[in-house]
Every structure is written in C-alpha cells, then in structure tokens.
C-alpha cells in the first residue's frame, strides 16, 4: 500500500502534541510541561513554537503557509520548489503539483477528491497516525477545492484536535475479571500471608517507572529509534510480572484489589508497547504515554486498597 501521499510523521506528531496539550489530555500535558518531554527548555520544541507551526507564517512568501508546505512536501524556503517558473501557491490554485516540474504537472483528479483516492479496503492496516494524516489531508484538500479553507480553518483544526484527544483515551487490551484469577475461597491468615509474600516477591522485580518516561522523552527529542528500543526490556519485565500476578493464589477478600492491580498492569504493558512504536505511529505513541501514566495512577489505587486490607 502506497502511503507516500500522507503528510510527514513529524508534522502529524507536532500537530498531535499541540492538540493534546491544548485540548485536554491532563496526563500528557503534565508530562510534557513538568518533565520537559519534547517541549524542553533546551533544543526541544516549545508549545508556542508548536502553535506557530500551524499559524499564518509563510516563510518564502509563495502563498502557502509553512504547515501547508509540509502537507504538499514543498520547500518552505523556496517559492518554486520544482523550479518550473510558477510559485508553489499559484500551482496549487491551478491544480498543478508543486513538486513536479511542468508542463505535465497537473494534479490527478482523484487526489483532489475525498471520495476515491483516500478509501482503503485494508483500513485495519493503517496506524492511528496514518488515519489522522489522511483525515488532515482529506479535509484540507476538500476545503481548498471548494474555496472554504480560510473560512473553516480554525474549526477544522479544532475538530482534528478532538480526534487526537479521543484516540489518546482508547484502550484495546483485555479487561480481566475474577474468572482469570486463581482464587482461594477461604481467607485464612496463613493464605493471606502467603499471598502477601508472593506479591511482594513479584513487585521486587519492578523498575523505576520514570526510566521509561525518560527514554520516551529522549527518543522524541533526538528522533532516535535506538533510544526508544530500550523500552523492550521494560515490556518484557512487565509481561513477566503480569504472568506471575495471574498465577498466584488470591484469597477472595483480596480479589477486587488484586484485579485493579492486574488490569493496571495490562494497561501499563499496552501503553508501553504503544510508546515503543512512537517513531512508526506518533499518534499511537502519544496515546500510549497517556495510558501508561493513567495505569500507574490506577495501580496505586489498587495497591492502597490492598494495603488497607493487609494491615487490618
């Protein structure tokens, strides 16, 4: 499947980061602002600069805003990217391809249609980033075609921003119930003590969660696939701990607390896996960090409930 027409992942990542920061992902917002992830004080992109990425700025004065040039993959510092004597903005107005030199540079009719070119029979093979990229480009081209882009630009971007925040709330993993747990019907003190010992033994394997956040931050800042691959060891560790949590015998009085912890671990695994793929699927990666942070908060809720019972 040819995805060469899609906007660059860097543009979509910038757009999605801005959308999440501005429109309601509290976990990601706090992460990015307090821990300087991607929006750090040194060489990272700041919120104001991200806003600027979708502003009226037209660096080369060719009639295309800089972020539009990213969609068309034209040069923001060159008024005539393909060197055919017509500036990029005029070529778009003439329905010509600004990156193909004329005279045979007319845009294919299907590229200007949101009914044919962007329909896939293998929709399931598109990442969340591909889908948002497609929606971004389809909406943009459709409004450009009917001349309504300037009038509806703000509403269009807000709509896509809402899509980003909804994606960041999605969870696709399994929800574990009592049927997945090895339950002991009685609640003898010896059984509870055995559970406590086994549970502590499992938790002893855990790492510092902030390490994963730091890896994610550094990978984004440096656009490093090598850095993000360091999450593989964390994923393996969490899967091992999850296996043990599902294997131990759980007294019925501790079942609900244990289930909260088990489901939080499942979310942690899913979130970390999405983070791992941020270079391939930036939107999924951002939703992963949101799920990851939320899972840690749920884990603490379950742990506190468990402690309350064990301390009685």
| pLDDT of 22 strictly over 70 | no
Per-residue pLDDT at 68: 72
Per-residue pLDDT at 262: 96
The better pLDDT of the pair 212, 119 is held by 212
Helix (H) or strand (E) holding 251: strand 249-251
Query: What's the whole-number mean pLDDT along residues 103-111?
Result: 65
Question: What is the secondary structure of 127-195 as a DSSP string?
Answer: -HHHHHHHHHHHHHHHHHHHT-HHHHHHHHHHHHHHHHHHHTT---S----GGGSEEESS--HHHHHHH
The better pLDDT of the pair 45, 201 is held by 201
Residue with tokens 């009085």, as numbered in its chain: 253
Number of separate helices (H) and strands (E) present in the chain: 13, 2
Query: What's the whole-number mean pLDDT along residues 256-281?
Result: 90
pTM listed for this prediction = 0.61
| pLDDT of 255 strictly over 80 | yes
Mapping DSSP to helix (H, G, I), strand (E, B) and coil, where does residue 57 land? coil
Which of the 8 DSSP states describes residue 96?
B
| pLDDT of 20 strictly over 60 | no
Band of residue 126 on the pLDDT scale cut at 50, 70, 90: low
Per-residue pLDDT at 302: 92
Distance from C-alpha of 29 to C-alpha of 32, rounded to nearest angstrom: 5
Portion of the chain with pLDDT greater than 70, in percent: 60
Distance from C-alpha of 59 to C-alpha of 87, rounded to nearest angstrom: 13
| pLDDT of 140 strictly over 90 | no
User: pLDDT, tens digit, for every residue of 215-237?
Assistant: 887 887 777 889 999 999 999 99
Per-residue pLDDT at 44: 37
Band of residue 200 on the pLDDT scale cut at 50, 70, 90: very high
Residues with Cβ < 8 Å from 156, sequence gap 6 or more? 139, 140, 143, 149
Determine the angle formed by the axes of helices 149-167 and 282-310, rounding to 10 degrees. 40
User: pLDDT, tens digit, for every residue of 70-92?
Assistant: 667 788 889 988 888 889 888 87
Dihedrals phi, psi of 36, to nearest 5 degrees: 60, 30
């Amino acid at each position: 499947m040819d995805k060469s027409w899609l906007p660059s992942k860097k543009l979509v990542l910038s757009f999605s980061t801005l959308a999440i920061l501005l429109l309601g992902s509290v976990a990601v917002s706090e992460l990015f602002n307090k821990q300087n992830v991607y929006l750090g004080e040194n060489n990272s992109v700041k919120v104001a600069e991200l806003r600027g990425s979708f502003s009226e700025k037209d660096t080369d004065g060719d009639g295309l805003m800089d972020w539009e040039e990213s969609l068309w993959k034209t040069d923001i510092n060159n008024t005539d990217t393909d060197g055919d004597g017509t500036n990029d903005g005029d070529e778009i107005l003439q329905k010509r391809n600004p990156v193909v030199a004329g005279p045979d540079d007319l845009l294919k009719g299907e590229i200007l249609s949101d009914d044919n070119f962007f329909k896939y029979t293998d929709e399931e093979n598109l990442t969340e980033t591909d889908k948002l990229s497609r929606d971004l480009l389809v909406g943009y081209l459709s409004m450009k075609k009917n001349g309504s882009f300037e009038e509806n630009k703000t509403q269009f971007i807000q709509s896509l921003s809402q899509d980003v925040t909804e994606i960041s709330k999605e969870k696709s993993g399994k929800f574990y119930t009592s049927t997945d747990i090895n339950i002991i019907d009685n609640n003898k003190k010896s059984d509870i003590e055995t559970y406590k010992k086994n549970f502590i033994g499992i938790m002893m394997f855990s790492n510092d969660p902030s390490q994963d956040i730091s890896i994610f931050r550094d990978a984004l800042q440096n656009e490093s696939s090598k850095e993000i691959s360091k999450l593989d060891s964390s994923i393996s560790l969490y899967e091992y701990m999850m296996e043990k949590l599902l294997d131990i015998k759980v007294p019925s009085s501790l079942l609900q607390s244990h289930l909260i912890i088990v489901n939080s671990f499942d979310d942690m695994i899913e979130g970390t896996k999405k983070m791992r793929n941020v270079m391939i699927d930036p939107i999924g990666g951002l939703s992963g960090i949101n799920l990851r942070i939320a899972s840690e908060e749920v884990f603490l809720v379950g742990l506190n409930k468990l402690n309350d019972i064990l301390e009685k």
